[in-house]
Structure formats: C-alpha cells, structure tokens
Structure 1
Amino acid sequence: MTPQQLSKGANVSIGELTGEPMPRLIFVIETKALEGKDFGLDAGILILGDDGQVRSNEDFIFYNQPTGVGGAVRLVSAGGQDDERDSSGDLDDSLSHRDAIEVDLARIPESVSRIVVTASIDPRTDAEFGDTSLVTLHVAPAEAPEEPIIEYVVEGLGSERALIFGEVYRREDSWKVRAVGQGYENGLAALVSDHGVEVDDESPTDDSASDDEVEGPQDTETPRPASGSSVPGGVVEASPGSELEDETQPRTEDGHDQRDAGAKVSIARKRRPAALPRDWEERDSAYLPRPDRSEWQRARLFPSVGMKSSAEQEMRTTSILLACMETVPEFGRSVLAQAGAPRGRIETFTEVRFTLSGDEVRPDGLIRVSRGGKTWQALVEVKTGRSELNADQIANYLKLAKSKSIDAVLTISRDLMASPDQFPFKVDGRMLKNVELKHLSWEEIVAEAAIVYEHVGVGDRVRSRVLEEMLWYAADVQSGMWSFDDMGRQWVKVREAVKHKTVSASDAATSDVCDRFDRLARHIALYLSAFTGQKITSQPPASRVDTVSRAKQLADSGELFALLRVPGAAGPVAINADLSRSRLGCSLKTTAPRSGRTQTKVNWLTRQLASAPGELRITAHHSGSRVESTSALLRDIREDAGVVMPPDGRDIREFTVTMEASMGSKRSGSENGFVAAMTGLATSFYSDVVERVRSGRDS
C-alpha cells in the first residue's frame, strides 16, 4: 500500500485509512543529516485538552518521561544511525536517524482533544533542521509498522531547532491526522512552553555551563527510550499490555498521573556514554590524530631526532610541554586545572634559578598564571623516560616554594598513580601546609592534549597545529613522554604463585601487583577518555585498609578487580583478571525494566546487543534473591530466550553482561602482553556493550 502523501496543513481521517476508528499507531520521525553534521534528534508528544494546553506537566512525553496517559502514549525505539549498516557491514553515514512514538487511540481519555507530535535537536550540537536533506513523518498501524499509511515530508526548514510535525485530533467519534510543520528557533523549551508545560529554567543542561566553567567536552548522545513495538527501520517486539512504566504511581479514572501538577519539568538530557571513534581499531593510539598515510614524512615542528642523552631529552621535552601550555591556552588550562591553578593568562619558563640558604636551586621550569591583580605560580620538576623523581629534591623545592611565596610544586614523570592524590615518592606531610604539591603523569597530560585537540577544539588553526605537533612528538618514544605499560617486576612472581596456590596476602609483592592493577585501571580510563572526550575514571581503594583487603582477596581468589565509572553508562564497568585461569573479563550490570513480561525484558536487552559478538555471557539475576541467577551465551539466547529465563517463572531484576579474553603471556604493554590485552578488551567491551546498553530505570 502506498502511503497517503500530506502537504502542510492537509489532513486525513485515520478511520478511512485503517478501517477502524481508534487503532494503535506508530509515528516515526526520520531525518537525514547533511554530510559532516552531528545531528541528535528526540521525538516527543504533547497531550492537549480543549484549550490547546497540556492538562499538567505529565502530558509532555519525552526522553526524561517516556510514557504517559496510563501507558497509552510512549516512546519506542526506531533504530538510529548507529544501527544502520551498508551492504559491506560498515556504518553508513548517509543513512537516516529515526525516532518513534506509539499511540493507542482507544485508551486516550475524553479529556484529550489533540495529540501533538514533536521533535527537537540535541542542544549540545550546533545543528538546525536546515542541516538536513530529509525530514519526514511516517504513520503506520502498530501491527504493520513496515507499511506506513501516511507520509509527510517537511520542507523549507532553516534555523529551527524544534518542530511540530503533526497532530492527531478528534472529529466527533473519530480521529484525524494533520500535517503541521511549525518550527521553533529557540528549541524544545520554547515549543513546550507555548503549550503550557512549565519548564524548570534552573535545571542545568549539559550545554548550559559557561566557557569559564567548562574544562572538557560535553556528551553528544541522548538516551534512547525503551522499546516495545515494531517500527519502520528497526523491528522490535510488540506486546500489548507490557508497557515498561511505573505502575506504582496513583492515577485518575482517565489514567492521568496524580502527581504534583505544580512541579516543573526538567528537559536536561540524561547522559549516554560517548561513542568511540569509528576508526578506533585502526589507530595506533587514542592520543594521536589520524595517521598520515602518505609516502613522504611530514615536517615536524618538534623533531625528536638527534637527541644524544637523557638530560637533553628532559630539557627538550620540558620546553616543548611548557611552550605548548602557553601557546595553546585551551590545553594549558585543562592541565593546570588538575594542579589547582586558577584560570588566567599563562606564562611558562624553563631552567629557572633561585638561591636557597646560599645554594643555587634550579627547577626544570616555572608556570605563572595571572588574573586581574592576582598571580599563581608553580615550580615544575620533570623526569622523562625511565628517570625517577627524587624525594629529597622535591623536598628542597617545597622549601624553596615556601620561602619565595610560590603557591605549588608540580612534578611530572612516567609514573601513573592509582589515585590523583598519590605521589611516586615519599613526602613529609608537614611540608604541605603552605605549599601545594601535585603530581601528573605524562599519560594524564597527553590525554588532556588529545581531548582538547579531538573533542574540545582549539579556536585558532595555528594553535591547533601546534597541539597536533606536540601529540606527534609525544608518540615518539624518544620524547620520553611514556605511558603506563608494565605490571612491574613482581608480576611474574605473583602470577605463578597464584597458579601454584602459594601467594601470600602479607607479601609486599602481592600488594605491589594490586597497586599496579589499580594503575592499569586508571590507564584504561585515560585511554577511553582520550578516545571519547568524556571524563572516565577508575575507582581506587579508599584507604590503606582497602588496599590490604585487596591483597587478601587476590591471595584467596587469585583474581584482581577494578571499577571504571563512565558518565551515562548503565552502571560501573568492572574489569578483572583471573590469574589462575589466565583469563581477563569486563562486565556491566544493568537494572531490568520495572514492568513487562520476563521474556520482554530479555528481548529488551538482546535488542540493544544486536551487533555484539555472540560470545558475550548474559547473566539474569532473579527477583527476590541476591544469589540465584541464570546464565547463557548471547548467541544461544538469540536462538531461544528461554535459556536465560528463571526456570520457576520468577522475574528478572537485573542483568550482567560479560566479555572475556586471554590474559597474554607478558607483563608489558607490548603485543600479547597483559597491559595491552586488558586495554584492548576494555575498549572492545566499551564499543560493543557500554555504548549500547542502558538502564531499565530509564525505560
């Protein structure tokens, strides 16, 4: 059946097209962005009374409030750009983005006169509806979503950032659909406010921070709502009566929520994990710009050739770093923010000379930040390559800083610590009363440079090239800006002791390996942060007591554990190494939707993992028990969802998704090494699982 084409202002009777006056309908909004545009789209619905206004704020159905009218209206998944692939299996940039809404007209109360179908653009992008080559509304019966009965192509769009596509309205005992095409340049808040929704102006949105407050990039995705119906472009299971909604809320006789009608609506987006770049598997490092594949080597602003000693390496690298911090203030501010420096004009100096108690003292550098009449200064001590920081030398610099009223001492070396407040040397706490001491690893600094270059952006082409050149210099082993790549000298000893069951919790080697694993977790967090542009962190032990218990845990179980916190993810990402089995693992727990049949919940998860490898292990945790669960491989669940469902008919409260890999035979970050294997597994898990799986609480 060819869908009926509507032009702006035209209308058509639903009953005449479907043969029934009050069917269940799917409204699919489809957009195709122009090449190179970041275009996030979100559908929404406004439920209006006779006065053209919402009856309460509960009548605005959108990404933060995905169901309404007792479940008669709800957002469903329509498959987006991330789900579309061309014939070769690769993602196709030219394909459209879809979002959809299901409306059950038979369940709409008499107090509702109109149902308005809207969409808005992610405010964290600079896109407008004029940045599209196609904007379309399709209407289809829920039972046959692949067969639309109405199509409306919206034309003549420009600077609009929110749009009313159409409306469903009553005419006596039947419903009609009208094509509207009304745009709002000021976005979603302006659109919904016109229809009586009280927007919380004080609620922060991800793009509301001022330039002075933002030190890193913001996320660029929005959460996709729970799916429960088939829609054009992305087939999902429909199950009447299985709406994924909160049934505990009191409702009126017409199904309208009895909540605080005076409460304002927050339209701040819930975060989703930022996506990895599509070429992440091809890159040599997340910290590098895309590799130059030409036969000729491009001339480098900071060449590393000709260095003949570690002293020369240290001097050259220090000068390059400090000069780039001053020349590219976006980068300098992002680094100095970690050292507690204020924002302001950055000046940097190398090989500075002071006198302390009659002796000459020469730190590697000094950083000065000026703002208004105030000045903040820090002494800088740098070590490159395998050189180690000297505790006595740092103590001397702390004394110097105190005597000269210098605010801080900043140390830089290859030592990536498990926690930002740790140091790779011992320091007397009494010396820190008047001077702040901060340590940064090269990895932290270079990750900040990559984030600024790839994600935040530099406002000047020349400065951007300077930062790019620093990244290329950092990638050269001759620069001495080394990252974490070694589990330490005790690794083989402890690994073999675990296999032979002779490991001791009180052995210093056991604690050292636990500490190294915590550093590895932080290395992975920085690696993913550089890839995605969002702040991913690891969770180190909170205290010395926790560290001791970690050593005991390793001795008892033979396993190492750590947690990664990913903004917008369904939960923490757990990474672990089973030394007795030589296996690595990554896992993510996600709460199951609060309502719906058990099989619907399993399907809800497997749909999100449609492109994930079949070797993933899915564990369904049973309701009413902390220990009972059912587990199966994803490929088997795709064949038969029953293999993971509780055998006694019980419900599922949450799922755990796990990916495993071989541990590698070496301790280092080289190919087949433990560090490389754990980093690679975590990155693959992020791409296949963390980006895609959402929490059932959002459904």
Structure 2
Amino acid sequence: MREMVKGSNVALAALSENAGSVIAGLSWVSPTGDGDADVSVLLLDANGKVRSDGDFYFYNNPVAADGSVQLLGKTPSENGDEDRISFDLTAVSPGIDRIVVAASRYDGAGFGELEDLKVTLADAGGDNLLSFAIDDAGTVSAIIFGELYRRGDEWKFRAVGQGYDCGLAGLATDFGVDIEDDAAAEEALSGSEGNEQTDTTAPTPAAEPQPRAILNSVPTPRPAAEEGGPRKKSARPRTAKKKVTLPKVAQKSLADNDSWTQARLFPVSALKSDRDREMRATSVLLSVMAQVPEFGRRLTAAFGAPAGRMETFTEVTLPHGDTPRRPDGVIRVERAGKLWTALVETKTNGNDLKPDQVQAYMDIAARRGYEAVITLSNDVALEGSPLVDVKIDRRRKHKVALWHLSWAEVTYQAQMLIRHEGVADKTHAWLLRELLHYLQHDNSGCHGFQNMGSAWVPVRNGINDETLSQGDPRALDVVESWERLIRQICLSLGGELGQKVLPVQRAKRGTDPKARRGRLADQLCLDGRLPAELRIEGAPGTLTVSADLRTSKLRTSIEIPAPEQGYPLTWAKRLIRRLTEAPADLHIETLVEGEPGGPRGTLERLRPEPADLLPRNNATQITGFRLSLFKGMGSSRGNAESGFIRSVDDAVHRFYTTVVVHLDHPTPRRASSKEPAETR
C-alpha cells in the first residue's frame, strides 16, 4: 500500500489493474467518544466548479443517478467507524475533470479535536492501494482529504489535506454550489415579495483567513439544468447540523417469485398461540440484549442495572411454596464481583399482566435477593397509575423494584440504535435488524398498545346521547388509555425520525398526575374531546391532536409564530410556497392579536391568492398561523378500539410527514405574557 504525503500524487493504474472502480474510506478517532464528521463529494468541470448543485453529494443526496458516486455510510473498522464512498470511474461523465473528497464538522467543532485523520483507497477487489494521514488539521471545520483527477485517459489521486474555516457551506460555495443564507433570504423577503437571495461568496482556505459570514446551512441539491436554459431557482437549503438517515433502496430479489419468504434468524410463521408468542418474544429479546451490549444497557440502565457482563435465561423454575413458579426470564449483570438480577414477566398480543403472577415474582425476588421484577407487555405505563397493584412487605430488609417496559419502548430503542445512532459491530447491527423485523411483524404480537379498553364504547355512546356525567370512572379509564396511546405514538414517531418526541402535560409543577387526569375526564364529559400535545425536537411549534367523540373527527394542528421582521403579505406567500407538497385540504388560519380567529381557508383555495390570509384591517397585528388537517375516526376494518388507535397514529404521522417537515423555524415574537408552566 502506498503511503502518501501532502501534495503527492499517483496514477491509479500504477497501483492496480482493477482501478476502474475504487472505494475511498475516511476515518478518524474521537478521544471523547462523541465526535464525528460527515463526508461529501463534489464533481468539478475544467473550470474547477460544479456544473450544478446536483454534482454535490452529501448525506441528503448520497447517490448519483449514473452510479458514478455512492455514499455507503459508516462501516465498523478496527479503530471505530469508517465512512466509505464508492466511485465507478468508468461511469463518470466526460465533462468531469476532478472529484473532490471532503468531510466537515458543525456547531463550532474542529478537526483538531479528532485524531488519526486518514483517507484510504481500495480497488474493486478490496486491495488497499494507498493511504494518506492528516496530522495538522488545526481548528478548521472542513477538510479536503484528497481528489481524483483525470490526466488524459487515466485517473490519478492527489493527497490534498486543505482545511476550511467555514464548514461544509463554505467549502461547497468555493466550488460553485449555490448556498442560501437564511438570514439574507429573510431580509430580501422583507423588502420585496417572492424574491430570494443566495450567498455565492467564496470561502477562503484556513491558511488565508478573511472575514465572512459563516453559513449555517447547506443546499438541497437541484437537478442539473440544461445548458443554455434558464437557471432554476434553488430550493430552500436543509440544515446541515443533523444527519438525515434515508431509507435503503430495496435490492432486487433472487427468488423465483414474490411468494417466497426470506429466511430470518427469528421466524414468526410457526407462532400459533399466545403462549408461543410469549415464549418466542422473550427468548428473542433476552438473547439480543445479552449479545448486543449497547442494546441491553439501554433497556436496563433505567432500572438500576450496572454496565457489566450480561447473561439472560428463559423458562427458569423457582421454588414458591408447594407450587414452583416459572417466570418468563431472568437477567443477570455482573460487575466488579457484584451481581444484579431481575425476573422478567412477558405478555404479548394485548394480553394483560396478571396481578397474582407479578405478586408471586415480587415475593420470590425478595426472598432470593433479586433487585427487580420487570414486566413487559403491549401496554404503556403511566406515572401514578401502575399497570399492576402489588403489596410490598415493608418488614423485609431487601427491597425489590417493580419496573415496566412496553414493546413500543423496546422497538424505539432498537430503531434509535440501528437507524440513527449506529452500532459499532457488524454482527450486532445484523442482530438488531433481525430483532426489529421480528418486533414489527404482524404475527409477533409485539405491536404495542392495541386496545382502548372496555370503557371506550360506553363512553363514546354516553357522549353521543349526552348521558355521560362528570365523575363517571369510565371517563377516567378512557383518559388513561388516551394518554397511553399518545405516549406510544411519541415513541413510534421518535424512532422513525431519530429525534425526541415527548407528550406535553400542561399543568402546574407538582400537580398529582391522577388529579390532572381527573380534570381531563371531567372536561371529556362536558365537550366530548380528548386533547394532546406533542413536542418534536426541531419542529417550529407544538403538534396538537384532538379527538372529537361527538363528531368522530380527528384534528392535527400546529401553530407557528409570525416572523419578527418583514411584511404580512411576504409571510403569507412564503408559507404557501413552503407548503407546495402539503395536502390540498390543509386548513390555514391566521392568528390575530386580541381576536378569537382571523382569515382562513384551505391550501387549495389559498395557493393562487395568499393575500386572502391577511386581515382586512391593516392595523390588525398577525401573531402567527395555525395549520390543521381533519380526519375521520376509526376504520371499517377491525373493532372500534383498534380502528381508533390506527386512525390517530396515521393522522399524526401524515400530518408530520406532509406538513411539519416543510415548515420554517422562524424566530418567535416576544411574548407579552408568560405561558403556563409545562411538565412532561
């Protein structure tokens, strides 16, 4: 393998006869364990510029249509992770003279905080061709590791090691990529309607720093424009601070027909009874917890388990009077000669935990010195409302904790690790993928909260015929089921997005959860509505969900504040442009100061006339906009309970993916009065 120094170059043909396709690997080591960077590739013409933003490949644009470039993501290596990029040099357009390979960091982080920065190049056969180490990175936030360039009919590699102080935005701008500065664009919109401003100032390499505004965003690549044709206005840039995990492209199957079932590590086809499902689910989960330390630690750390060597067991037999008991599983963690042990009781397919079983396991754990009993079911535990009431003998010196996990929480933790945060070991990653496939299979019984309870239908009927009275305990049961459903939806959406999604409980701090639910139950009896609020990390506002049991309608909505600067007409036009891909039946309402409501209309009607969102009185102050979608409750399939749960889940996911993701994150106006305290 050729060891390169800064500025040196080499012909690929001199290193391998199989260099038509190569794989570049960029790697680094973080002493703190939490540092990382993102790779990017730019295709340059003879002038040293991109032909269009489509020649810029990064995490939001990872694959070239012609297959010449493909960002493969992170792969476990000896010292950590290695970002790999595949190049098919035979497919590179003749108009491309140079391919730049770079990496960048964000939030003020520099490459000097990382160690062992290195780029390697391997041929199609997997043989390493060359290596180039960078040992003088300094404080720069972006670095060009190297570049592939043409010399006649052959390709060569040059070790560059050039740093930039302005991050990926500055690096991209230097090579002709259009960057939209959000602050400048907002200022331009304030002065004229519909005009957008882009910043094309080229950055200066770190060796020759000059004053310039550091941009906080990078562009969403646009398709290459035809030569000589009008240049298409760039789309709004997507923030570069958080990596977006894109769905994998399904590979073509080698099966003879679509009816063949792929072999899985954890099969579900043989599951015929609830007992089979419980035994299989327990064994699958506990075995993966023991084999994937990151995952096992995630699930047990909150229960007081130490970080140590974990062993798991299923179908154990423990003495209990005249009748031995067989808990579904046992978890044992050893660290520094000390042992932490927990019994596990599992339920699947919506089956309820049995209080007598859990009580017996609590007694056994107390006698044998176990630290905890962990229950696992489709249900979601609520603060102040335990799923199982057990009696604890206060005379015992050894205390046993009772904890609960829902299958939705298990799925969430698996999703966060495998899809968003990454697992260091290939085998561990494969095990988590197999577990996730099992948990999400229809036949596993591990789908999470599935039933609104026995009080659901009587409460809906009582609201419809106005016979439900305040203080009815069935209303409180429905409120608790609603809260469980919302918490499960938060886990589901958070696992898909890789972001925190939390329910917002608007109440004074220190308020008893039971008292808060009691007030919601009384309100349900009065107006027939079940309200909820979800706070999504990175969203411009709180997502509100309301189920109206009288009209059988679900409403999902979000309120976004008006910008600090600019003109109302500019705000309205900008909002309509952002919602180009949103559903036509989206309701938009203007919020005005001192009035219950302002102008409103559907997106379909407002698209040609955004000015219809403005109040007729020009002196009226606009405080924001409310966006809402409406959907019918329940479904013709299944029973009323499962149909309602499905409809709420679908409504939240649809609203986020079709509306919220397109919204700006404006700076809110200064509030004139304090908002109510929020607790989660």
What TM-score do the two structures reach when normalised by structure 1? 0.61
- The residue type equivalent to 2:462 in the other structure is A
Correspondent of 2:617 among 625, 644, 648 = 648
What displacement does 1:575 show?
0.8
Partner of 1:625: 594
What do residues 46-68 of structure 1 show as CA deviations (whole Å, max 9, x unaligned)?
xxxxxxxxxxxxxxxxxxxxxxx
C-alpha change, 1:678 and 1:426, in structure 2 (3 Å) is same
Correspondent of 1:39 among 59, 62, 66 = 59
Bigger drift between 444-453 and 666-675 goes to 666-675
Give yes or no for contact 1:669–1:676 (8 Å, CA) kept in 2: no
Secondary structure of the residue that 2:389 maps to in structure 1?
coil
Correspondent of 2:295 among 289, 308, 331 = 331
Question: Matches of residues 87-126 of structure 1 in structure 2 within 5 Å?
Answer: 94=65
How many aligned positions are there?
503
Partner of 1:511: 476
**Alignment partners' CA distance in 1, 2:368 and 2:452:** 40
Secondary structure of the residue that 1:378 maps to in structure 2?
strand
- The residue type equivalent to 1:423 in the other structure is P
**Alignment partners' CA distance in 1, 2:84 and 2:248:** 27
What displacement does 1:277 show?
5.7
**Alignment partners' CA distance in 1, 2:425 and 2:658:** 35
C-alpha change, 1:303 and 1:6, in structure 2 (3 Å) is closer
Correspondent of 1:380 among 333, 340, 344 = 344
C-alpha change, 1:499 and 1:670, in structure 2 (3 Å) is closer
Secondary structure of the residue that 1:653 maps to in structure 2?
strand
Give yes or no for contact 2:637–2:643 (8 Å, CA) kept in 1: yes
- The residue type equivalent to 2:488 in the other structure is H
What do residues 255-308 of structure 1 show as CA deviations (whole Å, max 9, x unaligned)?
xxxxxxxxxx9989989898796699x9xxxxxxxx998432122323334456
Does residue 604 in structure 1 map to residue 555 in structure 2? no
Correspondent of 2:420 among 455, 465, 469 = 455
Does residue 159 in structure 1 map to residue 102 in structure 2? yes
Secondary structure of the residue that 2:533 maps to in structure 1?
strand
- The residue type equivalent to 1:644 in the other structure is L
Partner of 1:298: 262
Question: Matches of residues 240-639 of structure 1 in structure 2 within 5 Å?
Answer: 240=192, 294-307=258-271, 309-355=273-319, 360-418=324-382, 422-428=385-391, 434-539=399-504, 543-622=513-592, 624-625=593-594, 627-639=596-608
What displacement does 1:528 show?
1.3
Partner of 1:682: 652
What do residues 309-359 of structure 1 show as CA deviations (whole Å, max 9, x unaligned)?
543432232122211211222332222234343333221112334446787
C-alpha change, 1:345 and 1:672, in structure 2 (3 Å) is closer
C-alpha change, 1:430 and 1:365, in structure 2 (3 Å) is same
Partner of 1:111: none
What displacement does 1:492 show?
2.2
Secondary structure of the residue that 2:185 maps to in structure 1?
coil
Give yes or no for contact 1:587–1:656 (8 Å, CA) kept in 2: yes
- The residue type equivalent to 2:457 in the other structure is V
Secondary structure of the residue that 1:504 maps to in structure 2?
coil
**Alignment partners' CA distance in 1, 2:461 and 2:334:** 54
**Alignment partners' CA distance in 2, 1:333 and 1:528:** 22
What do residues 428-455 of structure 1 show as CA deviations (whole Å, max 9, x unaligned)?
4776993322101122213322333333
Give yes or no for contact 2:547–2:555 (8 Å, CA) kept in 1: yes
**Percent of residue pairs identical:** 30
Secondary structure of the residue that 2:607 maps to in structure 1?
helix
What displacement does 1:560 show?
0.9
What displacement does 1:196 show?
10
Partner of 1:228: 185
What do residues 235-257 of structure 1 show as CA deviations (whole Å, max 9, x unaligned)?
x957259999xxxxxxxxxxxxx
What displacement does 1:365 show?
1.5
Partner of 1:75: none
Secondary structure of the residue that 1:695 maps to in structure 2?
coil
**Alignment partners' CA distance in 2, 1:512 and 1:634:** 38
What displacement does 1:597 show?
0.7
RMSD: 4.8
Bigger RCO of structures 1 and 2 (CA < 8 A, at least 6 apart): 1
- The residue type equivalent to 2:366 in the other structure is K
Secondary structure of the residue that 2:351 maps to in structure 1?
coil
C-alpha change, 1:518 and 1:359, in structure 2 (3 Å) is same
Bigger drift between 538-547 and 592-601 goes to 538-547
- The residue type equivalent to 1:580 in the other structure is R
Secondary structure of the residue that 1:495 maps to in structure 2?
helix
**Alignment partners' CA distance in 2, 1:602 and 1:544:** 43
**Alignment partners' CA distance in 2, 1:525 and 1:439:** 17
C-alpha change, 1:132 and 1:561, in structure 2 (3 Å) is farther
- The residue type equivalent to 1:228 in the other structure is A
- The residue type equivalent to 2:421 in the other structure is V
**Alignment partners' CA distance in 1, 2:567 and 2:324:** 76
C-alpha change, 1:634 and 1:266, in structure 2 (3 Å) is closer
In the alignment, structure 2 segments of 5+ residues that lack a partner are: 1-44, 67-80, 90-95, 107-135, 144-162, 167-178, 197-213, 218-237, 670-680
Secondary structure of the residue that 1:696 maps to in structure 2?
coil
Partner of 1:72: none
In the alignment, structure 1 segments of 5+ residues that lack a partner are: 11-26, 41-80, 83-91, 96-124, 134-152, 164-183, 198-221, 231-235, 245-264, 283-290
What do residues 365-420 of structure 1 show as CA deviations (whole Å, max 9, x unaligned)?
1112233444332221112334322223323323333333322211111212345x
**Alignment partners' CA distance in 2, 1:428 and 1:266:** 60
Question: Matches of residues 180-199 of structure 1 in structure 2 within 5 Å?
Answer: 189=141
What displacement does 1:594 show?
0.4
- The residue type equivalent to 1:604 in the other structure is R
What do residues 130-167 of structure 1 show as CA deviations (whole Å, max 9, x unaligned)?
9999xxxxxxxxxxxxxxxxxxx99553335379xxxx
Give yes or no for contact 1:591–1:654 (8 Å, CA) kept in 2: yes
Partner of 2:664: 694
**Alignment partners' CA distance in 2, 1:293 and 1:158:** 41
Give yes or no for contact 2:547–2:553 (8 Å, CA) kept in 1: yes
Secondary structure of the residue that 1:39 maps to in structure 2?
coil
Secondary structure of the residue that 1:440 maps to in structure 2?
strand
**Alignment partners' CA distance in 2, 1:292 and 1:603:** 53
- The residue type equivalent to 1:158 in the other structure is V
Give yes or no for contact 1:242–1:595 (8 Å, CA) kept in 2: no
**Alignment partners' CA distance in 2, 1:190 and 1:660:** 45
Give yes or no for contact 2:142–2:165 (8 Å, CA) kept in 1: no
- The residue type equivalent to 1:593 in the other structure is P
Secondary structure of the residue that 1:639 maps to in structure 2?
coil
**Alignment partners' CA distance in 1, 2:641 and 2:140:** 49
**Alignment partners' CA distance in 2, 1:664 and 1:651:** 39
**Alignment partners' CA distance in 1, 2:466 and 2:430:** 54
Partner of 2:231: none
